[in-house]
């Protein structure tokens, strides 16, 4: 399959419109990684713009081409330990059958890795206790061990790691990503990492790591913008299962600036208001530009509220931990 070909793996029951160019870019990265030229693609954009959805699509394609796809997701509550995403990835990989000979997987660095994946200690109870991870040397050992492990694993089966919501990641996790990015150029490893660019302000851990991360030659960035009007219209048709009046589609596209999450929310709102019928599209009155007259940036609080509701639904539907 070439990078231009359409996805063979459409998840049933979920709609997806547009994003051909963006998926094309991700496919090029996947193509390269499968051929032994690994890299990192940072997918940036505002909340709800479709970063996770796009990563998910790419993940499905990668899986259908034989790669192993592992997600490292954020933990929404307090108290997630450092390296949480990486721990999820290593754990999932070990559970998927890797590591018959655990001790040799991470070599002398196994005790360091066990600090972020404590189950290793259950399986290897005689592991020595290493120095705390905050020492520079211990951190280097840990980064080197995980990087070597992932590169070796990808020699057996190509690996696609999806690190979601990097704007919530702890700094050590980001430093590990940068370390990996430096070392992965000749591997069959692709990392797709999503983050909300609007949340990366000065002093934020990601703001500190991003400049040097982006300088790595293996790293590229894909900025997601709003869907164009024709895609918003296609999304409305797919959501409603019927055609949608042109003026309404245009108004929704304008109001949402093509943010797919917001398009979904507005459709829900318009059904509640009786502008759209529950079954298909029924024009019960002249379609109006959706309710609020203010620009959408002024309404970020309710937007954020409904976002978390949708995020919760999405997590359960994807079976995230
Ligand atoms: N191209 C698309 N076509 C149809 N629906 C889409 C598309 N992209 C995203 N969506 C839908 O829009 C919603 C928001 O998308 P998604 O969760 O990927 O946003 P996000 O950028 O990851 O947001 P956040 O920063 O909050 O994680 C989801 O319900 C998703 O299914
Ligand atoms: Mg997301």
CATH code for the domain of 205: 3.40.50.300
235 CA to middle of ligand 2, Å?
Answer: 18
Whole-number Å distance, alpha carbon 78 to ligand 1 midpoint, is 24
**Per-residue model confidence (pLDDT) at position 12:** 54
Average pLDDT per run of 10 along the chain, which is 321 residues long?
A: 48 82 97 97 97 96 96 82 91 74 69 86 81 79 90 91 94 96 96 94 89 96 97 91 86 94 90 68 40 37 43 37 28
Is the CB of 232 inside a 6 Å radius of any atom of ligand 1? no
Q: Is the beta carbon of 47 within 6 A of some atom in ligand 1?
A: yes
Confidence (pLDDT) at 25:
97
Q: Does 11 fall in a domain?
A: no
Range of the domain at 314: 229-318
pLDDT at 141: 87
Ligand of minimum distance to the alpha carbon of 307: 1
Same domain, 217 and 142: yes
Q: Cα–Cα distance between 80 and 170 in angstroms, integer? A: 9
Query: What pLDDT was estimated at residue 263?
Result: 93
User: How far, rounded to the nearest angstrom, does the alpha carbon of residue 96 sit from its chain's CA centroid?
Assistant: 20
| Co-location of 240 and 212 in the same domain | no
Report how far residue 115's alpha carbon sits from residue 300's, in angstroms, rounded to the nearest whole number: 39
pLDDT number for residue 52: 96
* 180 and 260 belong to one structural domain: no
Do 212 and 243 fall within a single domain? no
What is the reported pLDDT for 223?
Answer: 97
Q: Please answer whether residues 47 and 296 qualify as being in contact, where contact means their C-beta atoms are separated by less than 8 angstroms.
A: no
pTM: 0.83
Q: Is the CB of 268 under 6 A from ligand 1?
A: no
258 lines ligand 1 (CB under 6 A): no
3-state secondary structure (DSSP) of residue 289: coil
Specify the number of domains making up the chain. Answer: 2
Name 223's Cβ contacts closer than 8 Å, sequence gap at least 6. Answer: 44, 45, 197
Pair (136, 254) in one structural domain: no
Asked whether residue 217 falls in the same domain as residue 235, the answer is no
Is residue 235 lining ligand 1, measured as CB closer than 6 Å? yes
**Exposed, middle or buried, 306 (CB in 10 Å: 0-12/13-18/19+)?**
middle
């Amino acid at each position: 399959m070439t990078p231009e070909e359409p996805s063979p793996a459409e998840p049933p029951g979920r709609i997806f419109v547009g994003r051909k160019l963006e998926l094309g870019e991700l496919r090029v990265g996947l193509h390269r990684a499968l051929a032994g030229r690994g890299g990192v693609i940072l997918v940036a954009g505002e909340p709800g713009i479709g970063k996770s959805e796009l990563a998910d699509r790419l993940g499905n394609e990668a899986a259908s081409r034989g790669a192993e796809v592992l997600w490292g997701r954020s933990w929404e509550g307090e108290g997630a330990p450092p390296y949480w995403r990486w721990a999820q990835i290593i754990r999932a990989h070990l559970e998927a059958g890797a590591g018959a000979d655990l001790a040799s997987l991470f070599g002398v660095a196994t005790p360091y890795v066990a600090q972020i994946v404590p189950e290793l200690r259950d399986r290897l109870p005689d592991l020595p206790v290493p120095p705390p991870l905050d020492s520079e040397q211990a951190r280097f050992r840990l980064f080197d061990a995980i990087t070597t492990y992932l590169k070796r694993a990808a020699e057996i089966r190509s690996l696609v790691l999806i690190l979601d919501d990097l704007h919530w990641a702890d700094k050590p996790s980001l430093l590990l990503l940068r370390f990996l990015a430096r070392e992965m150029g000749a591997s069959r490893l692709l990392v797709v990492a999503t983050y909300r660019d609007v949340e990366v302000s000065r002093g934020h851990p990601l703001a500190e790591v991003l400049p040097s991360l982006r300088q790595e030659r293996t790293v590229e960035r894909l900025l997601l913008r709003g869907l164009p009007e024709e895609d918003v219209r296609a999304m409305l048709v797919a959501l409603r299962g019927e055609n949608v009046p042109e003026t309404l589609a245009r108004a929704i596209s304008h109001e949402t600036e093509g943010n797919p999450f917001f398009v979904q929310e507005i459709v829900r709102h318009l059904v509640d208001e009786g502008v759209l019928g529950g079954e298909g599209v029924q024009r019960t009155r002249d379609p109006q530009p959706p309710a609020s007259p203010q620009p959408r940036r002024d309404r970020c609080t309710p937007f954020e509220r409904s976002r978390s509701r949708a995020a919760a639904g999405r997590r359960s539907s994807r079976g995230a931990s």
